Amino acid sequence: MGRSTESPAVVHHTGLEWTGGATRVARLLAGGMAVSGLPVRLTCEVAESGVHREESPHAFASSVVTPDGFGPALAPGETAHIHCTGDWPGLLGAIPQRTQMVMTLHDCELFTGGCPYPLDCQGLEAQCVAPCPRAFADSDRVRHRKYQSLHRLDPVLIVPSRWLARLAKSHLHRPVTVIPNGIPWPDHPMSRHEARARLGILPAARVAVFAAHGGLGAAYKSGGDWRGLWGAIKARVPGALCFAVGGDTEGREGDLVIWPYVERERLALLMAAADALLYPTLADNHSLVILEAMAQGLAVVAHAVGGVPEQVGHDETGLLVEPGDRAAFIEAAAALLADPARCRQLGTNAFVSGRRRFTAQRMIADYRKVYRQLGKPRPAQGEP
């Protein structure tokens, strides 16, 4: 999209052009701004071909820039909105001082030496002492460079969950605003009967879904354990069928159907046909996969980690189990799949709750408020 002659654009920057949660949030925000007549640009570091384009009519093409080329590519007066990058020190180090900036933290990488989620790593509390126990190169130096850049640039920091806000404040010593993620919300969930007919799934089947970017290889989403979890659940609900979605392979292993990364409409169709989303994540901020499930009236079974409890109400819109309790996850998933009425009730609650709290329109409006405040004086901050 061309730049407006009336006012400088907000430039949303992501690592990937089309895929990933951070990129989707950036594109939803850009589309919402464009509908309002505001100038916007998109930049990315990796162009992707052969992938599904954003469902918005404003499916902007992204300009490809290197991390250290983003800052120099900004036009005078443009606002930088950073969502993610493959090189935080390089990106931040090349942005000119006094650039008007917003940064949305989609994980913890901005205040670690490299890991998206530190889990129980004690090295983070010691400022990422070297050598990093997870083998991130120069983690202490990388972390320090990010801190220095944040102090120099003084960006407005946004996070989607209260959980990440607490972490970010404690490590960055800066104010943080919470704006939960949102997605386009349908007026009503897709017909379960129609969805199953289109996918060839029997009306009486009990259907579960695992879904994550990376599929069976998604480390933070326990992808490597999906087969084992499903085997234990299947033993308790013999007639159940499961789909594992999001990797780069496809196939079938008994009643476990493996799908690669699929376009959003296809995933929504599957979620509308299913009874429960099984989401054994080890760490999470504010999952778009959970929102996609809620938007199709799908109950969620998950570990109560990160920002997940801010999305899923236990025994209201899904079931939450203690972090790391694999046996409890299996029992909760099996019990829910075996109870169709409970699945339907939790799914209905999830749709209504999500429509009230997690729409794209609400998210866009919240960010618009942030943009309107840019340039106004803020309290001085101490050095991180």
Tokens of 343: 């699945």
Tokens of 238: 């013999």
Domain residues of the chain, as ranges? 10-183+361-373, 192-357
Spatial neighbors of 204 by CB under 8 A, at least 6 apart, are: none
CATH number for the domain running over 10-183+361-373: 3.40.50.2000
Tokens of 219: 């480390």
Yes or no: say if 83 and 23 are a contact pair by the CB < 8 Å rule.
yes
How far apart are the two ends of the chain, measured CA to CA in Å?
Answer: 37
Instruction: Return per-residue pLDDT of the chain as tens, 384 residues.
Output: 444 445 789 999 999 998 899 999 999 999 999 988 889 999 999 998 765 555 554 567 889 999 999 999 999 999 999 999 999 999 999 999 999 999 999 999 999 999 999 888 887 877 787 788 888 888 989 999 999 999 999 999 999 999 999 999 999 999 999 999 999 999 999 999 999 999 999 999 999 999 999 999 999 999 999 999 999 999 999 999 999 999 999 999 999 999 999 989 999 999 999 999 999 999 999 999 999 999 999 999 999 999 999 999 999 999 999 999 999 999 999 999 999 999 999 999 999 999 999 999 999 999 999 999 997 766 555 443
Give the strand order in the sheet containing 156-159.
63-64, 40-46, 10-16, 79-82, 101-104, 156-159, 176-178
> Could you please report the per-residue DSSP string of 3-16?
PPSSSPPEEEEEEE
What is the pTM assigned to this prediction?
A: 0.93
Of 152, 270, 279, whose CA–CA distance to 212 is shortest?
279
- CA separation, residue 207 to residues 6, 228, 271, 296 (Å): 52, 17, 9, 14
Helix (H) or strand (E) holding 101: strand 101-104
| Identical fold between 10-183+361-373 and 192-357 | yes
CATH architecture of residue range(s) 192-357: 3-Layer(aba) Sandwich (3.40)
Q: Which residues pair with 279 in a beta bridge?
A: 302
**What residue has token string 């029997």?**
202
